[in-house]
Structure 1
Amino acid sequence: MLLVVPDRNPATFIKVESDRFISLNIWERRHIQEWIRQAPEVLGEDLLVVSTEFNRFKNSDDRLDILALDRKGNLVIIELKRDGYAGFADLQALRYAAMVSSMRLEILLPYYITYQRQANCHDIDSDSALEQLREFVTEKESFEELSDKPRIILCSEGFSTELTTTVLWLNQHGMDISCVSIKPHKVGEQIIIVPNKIIPLQEAKQYLIEIQQKEEAKQQVNSRSKRPTTMKVLIESGRLKSGDKIYLSRFLPAYLQPASRTDLRYVAEITGKLGKNDNVRWLNDGSEYSISYLTHLIFLTYHPNNQHPGAIQGGIYWVTETGQSLAEMADDVWASKQILQ
């Protein structure tokens, strides 16, 4: 959303919600590519465009939207999508990065010369072109050759969770991929484009937190792999009794954050039974489940895309009134029992 403040009355403002490129009849190649070509700084950094519609790939008819150079001498693949899904943009850009990773500076020069002649009407020779590239690369003492690790910038109206998760995972494993969202806003007869670099930024923090939580949960599972099940230990020891309430609270994914303990979706009651499917009663529907299956059911039911959560050890995620997780409580009981033996 934008706040538009009139010149004559700065005490007032108009709220302008973002629009869609499709509804505004804005096209990827004809419009968005041309904007980025002429003003690449909209992507959040200094870039020198060296080619557009680059298609000089061996045994391939693919066309790379924009090929650029950054201040460190890295080639930058800029992949543009006008819709909010940007489907397969990550895979497409990775393919382009692989294909240009072996490109040498002497091979790049003719493409840069051609681009300057066609796009900017600048007739330059190889020496002038090489000098321009070297002058642009300011973050290297001497720029004699291209890096063999191209960077990637994905630019779109929006990005799916699947794509951003993939990008963050690839960045963790040595890739350099940015995601820049560009949103159109119609103000009178004008269209205002608002860029926002979403990766690497806030989304990365949440992803890394979830990865850390997953690792902590995995370590807890490994530490208790030799003891009986959590519910068996706690019920047989008397630490949990029929009617005790427990709350889903630990290691929750971002889409599942309980507002309070009064929300029955996140509250269960101990039944005192030790069967395979009757340890707890879910207060949301009154049915009995095993602690792990109930956790699985909640994660699946409330995921925005009904994504299967995989195998789950339920005791890690539920806590008692005091805030201690069932798994931690069972570990304590079991450790005490082993000492006494």
Structure 2
Amino acid sequence: MAGTYVLALGPSGPTRAKAVSLQALQYTERKDLQQWIITYPELVEEGLLVLTEEHDRWASADGAPVKDRLDLLALDQAGRLVVIELKRDDAPTDVHLQALTYAAMVSRLTEQDLAGILARFSEKRGEPLTEEEAVRRLREHAGGEELDPQILRQPRIIVVARRFPPQVLSSVVWLNEMGIEIKLLQVQAWLAGGSPVLTSTTLYPVPGTEDFVVQPMREDKAKAAARAVESGRNTRAVRRIVERGLIEPGAVLHLRLEPPAPEFSAAFEEIAKWVGQDPRRGRATWVADAFRPLKWAYDEQQYPPTTLIKTIVEQVTGDRPASANGAKWWCLESGLTIGQVADQSEGELPAGTVSGEPV
């Protein structure tokens, strides 16, 4: 374990411990490491209730059995399932992919499924529970309430190994940024004279950094997803208008400058002043192109509505916005914006096309 220095303290003074593999000590993954975690789940994480080991009761959509064995499945105190994938020593380069497969499988389990799993596991270990008792134990562990199906749909993953290749670490960092929670836990055996010692250390995410490293990344991802949805909506709106001929070619559109400004309120006065200096800056002509339908009077170039408003904001403020809703900024003489024309075409707009005149 890189960067870790262990001293064994004894009567004759401290002795440096030597890192060794579990294989060299003749410990196995299933009979030893797995059982240690079942007995002491805090070795992996505080607050885990182990539900089962070697779970292999899966089936495909057509009912055929699926031959996959999940090492350990646990429930945390927040009511989330935790898939624990174990490797006795070095992890292979695809260990995270295997864990993701198991996470997808367990995400379909219900509270009743989990009660049955826990009851069978408890019986196997000589501590029999009825399914009703198992349900009670699940709920007590997660705060006393019925397990939330939506939370169960979002299992976490913990991968345990002695070492992880760079490919796994880089993939897990990206997956966490994308909102899939995976923890990499390093376990290491040490020898210094007497009995061997086992340590566990979180490699990623580094404890204490989640709030200001991982969470902002997930928020950025959520914002990016929202921007993608908005962009797709605008693209579909323009395409619908062009395909149905809802705005006649040559119709004049104006930049929406009357309060309240739909976006960029801080720059609203600057934009209005800039447009007032040259009215061409706030005027465009509809050219009925599905990709670049606006011909800006200021430079006679064609733009998508959102790209044009971003260009205007950048010219005024010096900063190009990451997102904008161009369909809200450009409106006809009637006062309808591009977005409103597209929306009302779904049954609310009177029959006929929309020109630059009021309808």
**AA partner of residue 78 (structure 1):** I
- Where do residues 31-70 of structure 1 align in structure 2 (5 Å cutoff)? 31-58=32-59, 59-70=65-76
TM-score w.r.t. length of structure 2: 0.53
**Which residue identity does 2:22 align to in structure 1?**
F
Deviation (angstroms), 1:42: 0.5
**Deviation at residue 85 of structure 1 after TM alignment:** 3.2
Q: CA deviation at 1:23?
A: 1.3
Structure 1: where are the runs of 5+ without partners?
213-341
> Which of these two proteins has the greater Rg computed from alpha carbons?
2
User: Which of 96, 102, 108 matches 1:90?
Assistant: 96
1:94-132 CA-partner distances (Å, limit 9, x unpaired): 00011111111111211110100112x112212111111
Identity %: 30
Aligned-pair distance for 1:22?
1.8
1:115 and 2:121 correspond: yes
SS of equivalent residue, structure 2 residue 169: helix
**Which residue does 2:316 correspond to in 1?**
none
Distance 2:46 2:193 in 1: 29
Distance of aligned partners of 1:203 and 1:25 in 2 relative to their CA distance in 1, 3 Å threshold: farther
User: For residues 194 and 56 of structure 2, what CA distance do their matches in structure 1 show?
Assistant: 36
Structure 1 runs, 4 residues or longer, greater than 6 Å off: 202-205
Taking only aligned residues, the RMSD between alpha carbons, in angstroms, comes to 2.4
What is the CA distance between 1:57 and its match in structure 2?
1.2
1:133 corresponds in structure 2 to 138
The correspondence of residues 1-341 of structure 1 with structure 2, limited to 5 A, is 1-6=5-10, 8-9=11-12, 12-58=13-59, 59-119=65-125, 121-138=126-143, 142-145=146-149, 147-201=152-206
**Compared with structure 1, are the counterparts of its residues 203 and 60 closer, same or farther at alpha carbon in structure 2 (3 Å cutoff)?**
farther
Q: Counterpart of 2:86 in structure 1: which amino acid?
A: L
TM-score in terms of structure 1 length: 0.56
Q: For residues 115 and 91 of structure 2, what CA distance do their matches in structure 1 show?
A: 34
- Corresponding letter in the other structure for 1:166: S
TM-aligned CA deviation for residue 82 of structure 1: 1.2
Q: How far is the alpha carbon of 1:198 from its aligned partner?
A: 0.9
| Cα distance per residue 1:196-221 (max 9 Å; x no partner) | 0111117989xx79xx9xxxxxxxxx
CA contact (8 A) 1:86 1:156 kept: no
- Give the letter aligned to residue 5 of structure 1: L
Q: Write the distance in 2 (CA, Å) between the matches of 1:103 and 1:31.
A: 28
Q: SS of the residue aligned with 1:190?
A: coil
Superposed CA offset, 1:74-100 (max 9, x none): 111000001223331100000001111
2: CA distance, partners of 1:118 / 1:202: 35
Deviates more, 1:65-74 or 1:184-193: 184-193
Point out where structure 2 has 5 or more consecutive residues left out of the alignment: 60-64, 218-359
Opposite residue 73 of structure 2, the aligned amino acid is: L
* Counterparts of 1:154 and 1:38, CA distance in 2: 18
1:122 aligned partner, one-letter code: E
SS at 1:123's partner residue?
Answer: coil
> Offset of 1:143 from its aligned partner?
3.2
Q: In structure 1, the residue corresponding to 2:19 is in which secondary structure?
A: coil
Return the alpha-carbon distance in structure 1 between the equivalents of residues 34 and 147 of structure 2.
28
